[in-house]
Amino acid sequence: MKNSGRKTARTGEERAVYGIPKPKTGALTVREAAALCGKNPETIRRWVWSGKIEAEKVGNQLFIDRSQIDKSCTFGNLKKNSKSSNLAEIIKRVDVLRERIRKETGGRVFDVTEMIEESRKGLL
């Protein structure tokens, strides 16, 4: 019983009375899907409303097929992996810029901190 003296609704009985279908087996709630993906539940809801993943609404709750989550999480991981390829591109650009700076400065090694201090003093 709740504090107010009323009994809590029994989900099974409510489903039978109002004809609410049971969710598919293997279907996940938004919270469960979010935990599996390592995302915020609101992100999962946005994916559903944007059409990125399909969900079934039973009563007032969304149920998502696990395969939908597996695809979306894999997509998210691929996205993360693409960042590492971007990192490789950034490292290449840094190397190219470093070589260009060496050519422009005559190969002289310089201290960045010293250059910043000089620029603040107006010496550069």
Q: Is the pLDDT of residue 4 over 90?
A: no
Q: Are 56 and 27 in contact (CB under 8 A)?
A: yes
Instruction: Give the Cα separation of 38 and 3 in Å (integer).
Output: 35
What tens digit of pLDDT does each residue of 8-59 get? 555 556 656 666 655 566 788 899 888 888 889 999 999 899 988 888 888 7
Mean pLDDT of 100-113: 78
Q: What is the pLDDT of residue 79?
A: 45
- Give me the phi and psi of 63, to 5 degrees please: -125, 130
* Residue 78 binned pLDDT confidence (cut-offs 50, 70, 90): very low
Instruction: Give the Cα separation of 58 and 88 in Å (integer).
Output: 46
Instruction: Give the Cα separation of 96 and 109 in Å (integer).
Output: 16
Q: What is the pLDDT of residue 69?
A: 79
Q: What is the pLDDT of residue 31?
A: 92
Instruction: Give the Cα separation of 66 and 78 in Å (integer).
Output: 18
What tens digit of pLDDT does each residue of 79-92 get? 444 455 567 778 88
Q: What is the pLDDT of residue 87?
A: 74
User: Which of the two residues, 76 and 115, has the higher pLDDT score?
Assistant: 115
Sheet with 55-58: strands ordered across:
27-29, 61-65, 55-58
